[in-house]
Chain A
Amino acid sequence: MDLESAIQISASGLKANRVWINVLSSNLANMNTTKTADGVPYTRKTVVYESMPADGFAGELNSAMNGGAEKVQVSDIVPDQRDFKQVYDPGHPDADEKGVVLMPNINPVEEMANLINASRSYEANLAALQTARQLATKSMEIGAK
């Protein structure tokens, strides 16, 4: 049933975007975290998306034969490799002998822009999900009158 897979695919999109929003929230919340359990400042995280065949064996077969629809999943959450920001703040408890504090490599503007992107993508998936539901409901009207 294609509409059923359509709903599952949209659900995978919603889930992936929610994970991204969680990661972005974590980045924003830890914008000023100078010390984590490892002793270093908080490192910015990014998600890696990956497409995968829609549904089990049938999906595998379908995508191998004619490139069927594909789900999405977050395959990994990776730390950002950029250097930590250096801020001169001698009064800070985590400052070194020169008074320099290492701050997380997070740019709030970048995070906010990504957050808007994630939010819009979530909405697009929701719209697709609602349409699929609407069509499935409509198909039940066949011959009903």
Chain B
Amino acid sequence: MSDGIVFDKTVKMIEDRLSLNSINQKLISGNLANINTPGYTAKGVSFENALRESLEEQVLHMVRTSGEHLAPDDPLKAMQTPEVVERGPVDLDTEMVNLLKNSIEYQHMVGMLNKKFTMLKEAITEGGV
């Protein structure tokens, strides 16, 4: 998605987060399916690391003080593909908690995205219906 006024960082970040939550859901399903498989190690992604890296890259970026300056690169970089980490044997309770957490996060993100769109619509219609 290109940068701009309409679809800004927020949309891109929520998009990244939703995609991370989808990957996490897949890994949790894999862990639960293999709960009785001998030698299997639980897998997970580290959201926080991926998110932090993405945010750190946004903190310092070039600013144009004149319209004649060359445009700086888009400071927002897509979140890196999350690293899959192995966490040892599958623990049912941990996985169920992660499942719940992931689900709440995902639904929250969809809610935020909808709120963002509602705000845009509000601005477009100048508060009218």
Contact = CB atoms under 8 A, between A and B. Distances in A.
Given A9-B30, A49-B38, 10 more contacts: A3-B26, A5-B29, A51-B34, A70-B43, A121-B35, A131-B25, A134-B103, A135-B22, A138-B106, A143-B113
Contacts of B100: 131
Interface footprint category on A: 35 or more
Contact of B84 (A67, A131, A141, A144): A67
Contacts of A12: 33
Given A135-B106, A138-B110, A125 B30 contact: no
A124 interface: yes
B22 A141 contact: no
B27 interface: yes
B32 A124 contact: yes
Contact of A66 (B22, B83, B106): B83
A132 B37 contact: no
Interface string B87-109: 00000100110011011001100
A121 B26 contact: no
Closest 5 CB pairs of A and B: A13-B33, A69-B30, A2-B22, A9-B29, A49-B37
A125 B84 CA distance: 21
Interface of A: 1-3, 5-7, 9-10, 12-13, 16-17, 20, 49-51, 54, 66-72, 117, 120-121, 124-125, 127-129, 131-132, 134-135, 138-139, 141-145
A143 B112 CA distance: 11
Contacts of B95: 124
A70 B40 contact: yes
Given A70-B40, A127-B99, A143 B34 contact: no
A142 B25 contact: no
B35 A124 contact: yes
Given A3-B22, A6-B29, A145-B114, A72 B34 contact: yes
Q: Which DSSP category, helix, strand, loop or mixed, fits chain B's interface?
A: helix
Given A70-B30, A125-B32, A6 B25 contact: yes
A32 B102 CA distance: 47
- Greatest chain B CB density within 10 A among A50, A129, A142 is at A142
A9 B26 contact: yes
Contacts of B81: 66
Nearest to A8: B29
B23 interface: yes
B32 A69 contact: no
